[in-house]
Every structure is written in C-alpha cells, then in structure tokens.
C-alpha cells in the first residue's frame, strides 16, 4: 500500500533551510521573494493491504523516525 | 502571490536520504516497508500579482537555485 506523509515545520518554528534559500535568492537579485519555507514529503510503499493497520504503523513510524514532534507536524495520506 | 514548487527526484535516480530512512526503519523491525523516497516542497511568497510574471520568475529561480536539473523534476503551482 502506498502512503504519502506530508511533513511541515510548525509555523512558529524557524526554517534554516528556507532562510538559506531566501538569502541565495536575494544574492541573485530576487528581492521580491518575501518568504521561503521548505517541507518534505515522504513516499512509502508498505507491504500490507489493511488501511487501518497501515495507518497505525505509519503513526508509529512518524513518532519514532520520520517526524520530529517538537518542530514538525504531519499528515499521512493512505492511497487505498 | 503564493507559490508551491513540488520537487521530486527522477525515478531512475537513487535517493540516499530515502535509503537512510529505509535502513533506520528496518533496524526498528519495520521489515514490510519496501521503499522510501523523500521529496521536498518549497513554499514561496512572491511580491507580484501577475501570474504570468510569477510563473516566469519561478521557472528561472528553479533553474538557478531551487532545483537540480540533473537529478530532479519540478511542478510549480501558482495560487492565484
């Protein structure tokens, strides 16, 4: 079963990667770019056809490895 | 104007970050995860209300900074 996990930094948490890109764009004279934020999307292929079990497993994997719960939020999308 | 750029690694290009996460999941006994790929989503806020100009600028910024054209593809979404 295919799963997409959208991981976003919480709005109140600074995004150093986005800030670095923002500075690079300003150096190239793109002065009208007000903000850059960079999120990640994790695509998983899980060998299990039960959406409920997959959802439970994905939540556990997010808590253990995929997401930093202090800085980030996530939404998991199960493609049934 | 808000823009979202979805950057994906080409399917034939290896994804070292995804591979590392895959190994970490296997170490934690998640042996049913067949593949992990990690993409990034770039959110930009651009001070310009003309969608055509914004599209043109985003394409230039992707070519110059945001995307590695050898390894990656992208789709830009302009939120009008």
Task: Pick from B19, B33, B60, B78 the residue to mutate for testing the A interface (most A CBs within 10 Å).
Answer: B33
Q: Which residues pair with A5 in a beta bridge?
A: A42, A76
User: CATH 3.30.1280.10: does it fit domain A2-79?
Assistant: yes
Identify the residue whose tokens are 């390894």: B71
E strands of chain A, at which residues? 2-9, 33-46, 72-79
CA A73/CA A60 separation, integer angstroms: 14
Closest chain A C-alpha to B3 CA, distance in angstroms: 10
Interface of A with B in 28-57 (CB under 8 A): 28, 30, 32-48, 57
Instruction: ipTM value, please give it.
Output: 0.89
* pLDDT tens by residue, chain B, 80 residues: 999 999 999 999 999 999 999 999 999 999 999 999 999 999 999 999 999 999 999 999 999 999 999 999 999 999 98
Q: Which of A64, A58, A66, A52 is nearest to A7 (CA)?
A: A66
CA A72/CA A54 separation, integer angstroms: 21
Domain ranges of chain B: 2-79
Could you tell me if residue A29 is left (phi over 0), alpha (psi between -120 and 50 degrees) or otherwise beta?
left
Q: At residue A64, does pLDDT exceed 90? A: yes
pLDDT of residue A80: 85
């Amino acid at each position: 079963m295919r799963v997409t996990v959208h991981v976003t930094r919480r709005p109140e948490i600074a995004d150093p990667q986005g800030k670095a890109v923002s500075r690079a764009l300003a150096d190239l004279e793109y002065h009208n770019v007000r903000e850059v934020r960079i999120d990640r999307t994790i695509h998983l292929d899980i060998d299990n056809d039960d959406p409920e079990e997959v959802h439970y497993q994905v939540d556990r994997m997010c808590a253990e490895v995929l997401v930093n719960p202090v800085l980030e939020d996530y939404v998991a999308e199960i493609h049934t």
